[in-house]
Amino acid sequence: MKFRVVKRVGIWSFVVAVTLPFSSCMTTASVVLTPVVGALMLVEHAQHGLRVSTHDHGYVRDYSNGQTKERGSYKNGRLNGPHTTFYRNGQKKSEGVYKAGKQNGLWKMWHDDGQKQAEVNWEAGNAVSAKFWNRKGAEVKTLHEARK
């Protein structure tokens, strides 16, 4: 996926040209993101591509298969509040909270089969403690080991 800024309007608003390659064709679409009380709102989106929309100062991104990829919210142009990501199969991938654009509090991660992968405690964007598990449920020392 290629992005190119075409025009900037103000601090938060801009127009982006998006090129989305597909196996049978290449589609180009213009996406317009504008601020709405500190949130980004999608005005137009590409056919057969990712859908992005806002809900009460939040956003939802979908995979091309229609499954939700992530959802969260913005405040004053920064990620703020609950944030959740999902695997393409619909299984939850991660869940936590942003505060002023930084991860804060307990964040949980799961393997694509639903097995627990990690729990990380954050303070103002810095990890202060973490536990990791591999696909078999055994505790391991690093996220890299957990993903093997």
Quick: pLDDT tens for 77-136: 788 999 999 999 999 999 999 998 899 999 999 999 999 999 999 998 899 999 999 999
Of the chain, the end-to-end C-alpha distance in Å amounts to 27
pTM, 2 dp: 0.62
Instruction: Provide the pLDDT for residue 55.
Output: 47
Query: Is 52 within 8 Å of 41 (Cβ atoms)?
Result: no
Instruction: Provide the pLDDT for residue 131.
Output: 95
User: CA 28 → CA 2, 3, 20, 45, distances in Å?
Assistant: 10, 10, 6, 10
Quick: pLDDT tens for 50-70: 445 444 468 888 888 888 999
Picking from 70, 111, 67, the residue whose alpha carbon sits closest to that of residue 89 is 67
Query: Is 71 within 8 Å of 58 (Cβ atoms)?
Result: yes
DSSP string of 55-68, one letter each residue: STTEEEEE-TTS-E
Residue bearing the bigger pLDDT, 46 or 132: 132
Over residues 30-57, the mean pLDDT reads 43
Where do the domains of the chain lie? 80-148
Instruction: Provide the pLDDT for residue 59.
Output: 84
Instruction: Provide the pLDDT for residue 11.
Output: 43
